[in-house]
């Protein structure tokens, strides 16, 4: 497998194979590595170092940079980030993202982004156990200070309910990071107030 990886890396360097193909090949050989947005998310890298490579999370990365949260999310953690995709951000009312990215809206943007982060390392096994122990629901406090509610959506998928009652599904689960875990979600979560 190492020889195959070296050949793939050489082919990529020579322009014969796209780098994403090399990343996917490498991801298949590295334990606990998940491909998100066409790129491998390596467990040895932190949340920010991995997220910047995902083509599905360019809006989230831009927002994290605009809010000045790169340093915090690169820290030791552990953190669990419920990471909305670009498509989730595009479901917001027209103009919302561009308005939030303006410097004068940094406090609001920070509040929304930190609402997507829970201190601790919560993979889906832990979340399911908490939901079962809670009689069908579990709650976790976010860095923003509000709570997220978790419940099952069918027999295997976990749903996240925000402070406004809107629901997001975890679409790519348990993306292990050196400082926590990313759970990819299909909606932007909003605090109650």
pLDDT in tens, 45-98: 888 888 888 888 889 888 999 998 998 988 888 999 999 999 999 999 999 999
Q: What is the pLDDT of residue 155?
A: 78
Do residues 84 and 96 lie in contact, with contact meaning Cβ atoms separated by under 8 Å?
A: no
Q: What is the pLDDT of residue 137?
A: 96
The overall average pLDDT reported for the chain is 82
Q: What is the pLDDT of residue 111?
A: 94
Domains of the chain: 56-185 (2.30.180.10)
Separation between Cα atoms, residue 164 and residue 141, nearest integer Å: 15
């Amino acid at each position: 497998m190492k020889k195959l990886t070296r050949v793939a890396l050489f082919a990529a360097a020579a322009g014969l194979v796209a780098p994403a193909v090399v990343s996917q090949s490498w991801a298949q050989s590295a334990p606990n590595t998940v491909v998100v947005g066409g790129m491998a998310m390596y467990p040895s890298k932190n949340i920010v170092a991995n997220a910047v490579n995902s083509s599905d999370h360019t809006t989230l990365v831009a927002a994290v940079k605009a809010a000045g949260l790169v340093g915090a999310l690169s820290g030791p953690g552990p953190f669990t980030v419920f990471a909305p995709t670009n498509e989730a951000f595009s479901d917001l009312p027209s103009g919302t993202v561009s308005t939030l990215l303006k410097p004068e809206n940094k406090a609001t943007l920070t509040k929304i982004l930190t609402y997507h982060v829970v201190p601790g390392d919560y993979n889906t096994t832990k979340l399911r156990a908490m939901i079962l122990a809670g009689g069908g629901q579990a709650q976790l406090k976010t860095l923003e200070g509000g709570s997220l509610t978790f419940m099952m959506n069918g027999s295997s998928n976990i749903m996240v309910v925000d402070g406004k009652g809107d629901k997001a599904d975890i679409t790519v689960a348990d993306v292990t990071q050196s400082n926590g875990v990313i759970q990819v979600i299909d909606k932007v979560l909003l605090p109650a107030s």
